[in-house]
Amino acid sequence: MASASRDSAARSNEPWWLRAPIIEEHEGVLVVREDLVAGGSKIRFLPHIVGDAKEIVFGGPYCGGAPYALSVWGARQGVKITLFSAKRKELHWRQKAGFRLGSTLYQVPAGRMSVVQHRARTYAADAGALFLPLGFDLKHATEPFEAVMRAVRETVGQMDEVWCATGSGMLARCLGRAFPDAKVMGVVVGLRSRNQAQAFPPNVQLIDCPYDFADPCRSRAPFPSCLNYDAKAWEALKAHSRAAPGRALFWNVLGDVPQDLEALP
């Protein structure tokens, strides 16, 4: 399948975060290739939550997609991005990408997530900067995100299953509302999804993941997929999906490490 898109001339005049998702079929599954969007899926709603902020602060996992999305946004829009994460011996490629894109990174020694978050909040308060929570899980982000998903649904039609990885839970919740007649399978790659299970629509089912968040998936998808996140959900889909060919949709948020960090968006 091609893309959920308007004509190419109209697309070329749109901001990159508004361009319609590319949808492809891989191994009988329709895949929303958000890895082809600079910064990944979070870019879809990021403009709606950052406004005209001059500096944005975020504390989170060193391998997460949120700081990478912010780094892309900051580089393209001329916004200062300040990131906090736990200190480690070697930087993850997304941290290196953040540096290349101009973000500032603070590493927190022995930084449990609660400590990383506290340091980020304190910095933001002192600097008068905008602090964003884990997953950018904010109420005013959901409507623009769901609008993109509803456009995908109009393109692909009714699905039996919709699969995704879920950390904060926002992606699975939005997909549940955008695809109300499908069974949405959220593969839990972070603890917060389980902690917020009561907030999910009734058609969302959470599936345990055998990996810790920071551990890369041992198998690879047939398209660029984040080994810390989406690839784990693809592995679960291939093991547990009961949908007929063409009746399952997979939402791929991020790609894997680029071959050349100099060629970043």
- Is a pLDDT exceeding 80 seen at residue 230? yes
Do 94 and 176 share a domain, yes or no? no
Say if residues 64 and 97 touch (Cβ distance below 8 Å): no
Provide the pLDDT for residue 63: 83
- Is a pLDDT exceeding 70 seen at residue 260? no
Q: How far apart are CA 18 and CA 11, in angstroms?
A: 8
Q: Which residues form the domain of 54?
A: 43-136
Q: What burial class does residue 245 get, using C-beta atoms within 10 Å of its C-beta: 0-12 exposed, 13-18 middle, 19+ buried?
A: exposed
In a domain, 196, yes or no: yes
Provide the pLDDT for residue 6: 35
- Is a pLDDT exceeding 80 seen at residue 151? yes
Q: How confident is the model at residue 9 (pLDDT cuts 50, 70, 90)?
A: very low
Q: How far apart are CA 256 and CA 264, in angstroms?
A: 12
Give me the helices (H) in the chain, please.
Answer: 8-12, 46-50, 65-77, 93-100, 113-127, 139-156, 170-178, 191-195, 230-240
Residue 252 β-bridge partners: 33
118 is written with which tokens? 């506290």
- Is a pLDDT exceeding 70 seen at residue 198? no
Do 185 and 172 share a domain, yes or no? yes
Do 117 and 179 share a domain, yes or no? no
Q: How far apart are CA 149 and CA 170, in angstroms?
A: 13
Do 142 and 246 share a domain, yes or no? yes
Provide the pLDDT for residue 94: 86
Provide the pLDDT for residue 61: 87
CATH number of the domain that 18 lies in?
3.40.50.1100
Do 34 and 68 share a domain, yes or no? no
Say if residues 243 and 210 touch (Cβ distance below 8 Å): no
- Is a pLDDT exceeding 80 seen at residue 34? yes
Q: Which residues contact 239 (CB under 8 A, 6 or more apart)?
A: none
Do 169 and 237 share a domain, yes or no? yes
Place of tokens 């927190």: 108
Do 152 and 246 share a domain, yes or no? yes
CA geometry: angle 32, 99, 48, nearest 5 deg: 50
pLDDT tens by residue, 50-96: 999 999 999 998 888 899 999 999 999 999 999 999 998 888 888 98
Do 148 and 37 share a domain, yes or no? yes
The arithmetic mean of pLDDT across residues 199-218, rounded, is 90
Do 86 and 176 share a domain, yes or no? no
CA geometry: angle 227, 252, 115, nearest 5 deg: 55
Do 156 and 212 share a domain, yes or no? yes
Distances (CA, A) of 174 to 53, 89, 137, 200, 204: 25, 36, 11, 9, 10
In a domain, 258, yes or no: no
Which has more confidence, 175 or 257?
Answer: 175
Do 100 and 167 share a domain, yes or no? no
Provide the pLDDT for residue 222: 96
- Is a pLDDT exceeding 50 seen at residue 167? yes
Which has more confidence, 138 or 104?
Answer: 104
Provide the pLDDT for residue 122: 97
Q: How confident is the model at residue 262 (pLDDT cuts 50, 70, 90)?
A: low
pLDDT tens by residue, 108-124: 998 788 999 999 999 99
Do 32 and 113 share a domain, yes or no? no
How many percent of the chain have pLDDT more than 70?
89
